[in-house]
Amino acid sequence: MSPDDLHPQAKAILAGLLGSDGVVRRRSMAKAITMLESTRADHRSWADDLLTAMLPHTGRAFRLGLSGVPGVGKSTFIEALGLYLIGQGHRVAVLAIDPSSSVSGGSILGDKTRMEHLAVNPSAFIRPSPSSGNLGGVAEKTRECILVCEAAGYDVVIVETVGVGQSETAVAGMTDLFALMQLPNAGDDLQAIKKGIMELADLVLINKADLDANAATRAQAHISSALRLFAPHPHTDIEHAPWQPPVMLLSALKAAGLEDFWGLVQQHQKVQKAQGLFIQRRQNQSLTWMNERIQAGLQSAFKENPAVKHLWPELTALVVSGRLAPSTASRRLLLANQNHPHSSGDIHA
């Protein structure tokens, strides 16, 4: 897709994103995101063209995922880290995935008072979680938003999430490094840490280490030994040795540990790139994203099919009353979908 072939509105947005005027760039980012979030079929088609035209200008940022329960200190950390990185010449974007926002109508991560210093910094861009749709939809918008930020020249993109549902998996699946933030007392009760989430972590941060240094060190030892249990077999060949997730102490409030954190991030990226894993991770993420959207698109087209809609109430009633096996019901619905293809309308993924 050449920029010349774009819809005039998308063309103007692209020029603004790539231009040097900071104010225009921000405005263009907001417009691009609005276009990408639109459910109107014509907008979606312009947005797809815009994404394609943007793509050569994306991919150069470091994408950091961060997860932790509400109150663990994510926003305090992101504000401190963001300002530290901006001080080093980086431009920092912060995006959020908060699946609870679509259920409760209010976002845990959307509070406007969060990161107040970073929010007003001209080298930062903060966007709260999209507040509609299921996790798949919210994750989809966030992935596209990462590309917008990258095209606009942000070279560090932080995606944060609260530890609910599958949102950690979604964030780990769209970032280059996934960091898990814990409280010092978490180590005393390893049951509290979901094993599946631990396995996703490339790095564990124990925040609020200033409150109780002993508890924090204990947590560090507990979590380190737990992580060793999940670790792949030790490798004698250092060059190919798998990354062993470090567990580090942090005080986001006192901005203590930021340099160590950034040092570990750089070490991780160096190892990943040397082992060819960086590109592999991104390629896998792109293919997973594509497959997820195909599944979502097929599912929504299926549910929109009039033949399926017609049969749905009767078959679901039979399934819940135990008179029809779920597998038989699903086969009948799939057959109805196959025999009566629904051709009008677009597929929305």
Rounded to an integer, what distance in angstroms lies between the CA atom of residue 75 and that of residue 107? 14
Whether the Cβ atoms of residue 167 and residue 97 lie closer than 8 Å to each other: yes
List of residues 6+ apart from 155 with CB closer than 8 A: 60, 61, 62, 90, 91
Residue type, 287: L
Rounded to an integer, what distance in angstroms lies between the CA atom of residue 244 and that of residue 221? 14
Confirm or reject binding of residue 74 to ligand GDP (CB under 6 A).
Answer: yes
Confirm or reject binding of residue 263 to ligand GDP (CB under 6 A).
Answer: no
Least distance from ligand GDP to the Cβ atom of residue 69, Å: 7
Q: Which of 65, 68, 173, 184 binds ligand GDP (CB under 6 A)?
A: 68
3-state secondary structure at position 251: strand
Confirm or reject binding of residue 305 to ligand GDP (CB under 6 A).
Answer: no
Determine the angle formed by the axes of helices 22-37 and 135-151, rounding to 10 degrees. 150
Confirm or reject binding of residue 164 to ligand GDP (CB under 6 A).
Answer: no
Confirm or reject binding of residue 72 to ligand GDP (CB under 6 A).
Answer: yes
In the chain the first and final C-alpha atoms are separated, in Å, by 21
**Which phi and psi (to 5°) does residue 179 adopt?**
-110, 135
Q: Which of 28, 67, 76, 272 binds ligand GDP (CB under 6 A)?
A: 76
CA-based angle 334:340:341, to the nearest 5?
Answer: 90
Confirm or reject binding of residue 106 to ligand GDP (CB under 6 A).
Answer: no
Tokens found for residue 128: 């709260």
Q: Which of 28, 75, 220, 305 binds ligand GDP (CB under 6 A)?
A: 75
Question: Of 246, 250, 248, which is closest to residue 211 (Cα–Cα)?
Answer: 250
Stretch that binds ligand GDP, among 19-27, 63-71, 225-233, 322-330 (CB under 6 A): 63-71
Confirm or reject binding of residue 70 to ligand GDP (CB under 6 A).
Answer: yes
**Of 175 and 251, which CB lies nearer to ligand GDP in the complex structure?**
251
Other beta carbons within 10 Å of 139: 25
Confirm or reject binding of residue 71 to ligand GDP (CB under 6 A).
Answer: yes
Confirm or reject binding of residue 298 to ligand GDP (CB under 6 A).
Answer: no
Least distance from ligand GDP to the Cβ atom of residue 148, Å: 23
Q: How many residues bind ligand GDP (CB under 6 A)?
A: 15
Q: Which of 253, 307, 311, 347 binds ligand GDP (CB under 6 A)?
A: 253
Residue type, 293: R
**Of 162 and 198, which CB lies nearer to ligand GDP in the complex structure?**
162
List of residues 6+ apart from 219 with CB closer than 8 A: 182, 183, 184, 185, 186, 187, 188, 206
- Between residue 193 and residue 252, which ones bind ligand GDP under the rule CB under 6 A? 207-208, 210-211, 251-252
Rounded to an integer, what distance in angstroms lies between the CA atom of residue 64 and that of residue 242? 19
**Of 43 and 74, which CB lies nearer to ligand GDP in the complex structure?**
74
Stretch that binds ligand GDP, among 64-72, 281-289, 318-326, 341-349 (CB under 6 A): 64-72
Residue nearest to ligand GDP (CB): 73
In the complex, the residues that contact ligand GDP under the rule CB under 6 A are 68, 70-76, 207-208, 210-211, 251-253
